[in-house]
Structure 1
Amino acid sequence: MTTTKLTTSETLTRFYAAETAYIAAGGPGRAGFEEIAACLDPQVVLHQAPGLPYAGDWHGPEGIERFMAVMGEAWQSVEFLDQHRIIDGPDVVVTSRVRFVARASGRVLESRMVQLMSVRDGKITEIRPFYWDPAAVTTALQDP
């Protein structure tokens, strides 16, 4: 059996679609993580900034799965809108207008996000998101 390596653009398209579906389904036990994992390098690292409810470094597909579980508990939906990608070899800059809906409060947060990513051999090796207003993320997730 042969496998075809995805282009960077195809990997990102697949990753964002899988992430959106996983969050909407509520995370673990409700939707498979396999589609997300298929986009990840075994050594992938996600760096979430201090001050966010899900801050820290999340290592490997297992770490990303734990992170996605936290995101699935926090957010009812995450939509990446008006997304633009700049791809330069393995380095990627993704700019998005993002619409979050908090699971507990129902609050809607529309904001901007920039993600610096690395993709090698059709697999994501690093993700470093920057939220325009991290305090708004925390506020949206607070009890009503």
Structure 2
Amino acid sequence: MTTDVMATLRGFYAAEAAYLTDGAGFEGMAKYLAADVVMYQADCLPYGGQWRGHCGMRGFLAAMGASWDGLWFDEQRFVSEGDRVVVYSRGRLRARGSGRVVETSLLQWIGFEDGLITEFRPYYHDTSAILAALADQE
């Protein structure tokens, strides 16, 4: 894995956290994303499904932002192979409606091309904990 790929990934994660936690704009993340980027999310989540391109990512982030207003990474570990990176993340999310904080972990399979992110495939450790935190909002 090149340093450029790691810089891209760390830059994206920082911009994503700033978007959810501090109200930063999408532009901070867009510079790390390929024009045809795809986000795959578990269908059971309120922001589930496939989100394609920058417009799709804006839609995903708006949907995710409607559920969460805080994101903090407590630990991240990276493993790479060619144009793929697997990221283990342990962190916390704060539910927008209830203020409940859920601790969780996930693995992400992330693809790259020409130094930009082309796809995200997250695998949550416990989607039921995520859904339970969001259910408190109803």
Above 0.5 in TM-score?
yes
Which residue of structure 2 aligns with residue 102 of structure 1?
Answer: 95
Out of 15, 18, 30, the residue aligned to residue 21 of structure 1 is 18
Out of 86, 96, 99, the residue aligned to residue 93 of structure 1 is 86
Which residue of structure 2 aligns with residue 118 of structure 1?
Answer: 111
Q: Is the 8 A contact 1:45 1:126 kept in 2?
A: yes
- The TM-score, its normalising length taken from structure 1, stands at 0.89
Q: Is the 8 A contact 1:74 1:141 kept in 2?
A: yes
1:25 Cα deviation from its structure 2 partner: 3.0
Out of 125, 135, 138, the residue aligned to residue 128 of structure 2 is 135
1:17 Cα deviation from its structure 2 partner: 0.3
Q: Which runs of 5+ in 2 are unaligned?
A: none
Code of the aligned partner of 1:82: E
Identical-pair percentage = 45
Which residue of structure 2 aligns with residue 11 of structure 1?
Answer: 8
Code of the aligned partner of 1:23: L
In 1, Cα distance between the equivalents of 2:110 and 2:72? 18
Q: Is the 8 A contact 1:107 1:140 kept in 2?
A: yes
In 1, Cα distance between the equivalents of 2:29 and 2:80? 20
Give CA-to-partner distance per residue, 1:77-109, whole Å, 9 cap, x none.
Answer: 011221001122211100010200101101111
Q: Which runs of 5+ in 1 are unaligned?
A: 1-5
Aligned residues: 135
Q: Over the residues paired in the alignment, what is the CA RMSD in angstroms? A: 1.3
Structure 1 runs of 4+ off > 6 angstroms? none
- Within the alignment, does 1:72 sit opposite 2:65 as a pair? yes
In 1, Cα distance between the equivalents of 2:83 and 2:72? 25
Q: Is the 8 A contact 1:76 1:101 kept in 2?
A: yes
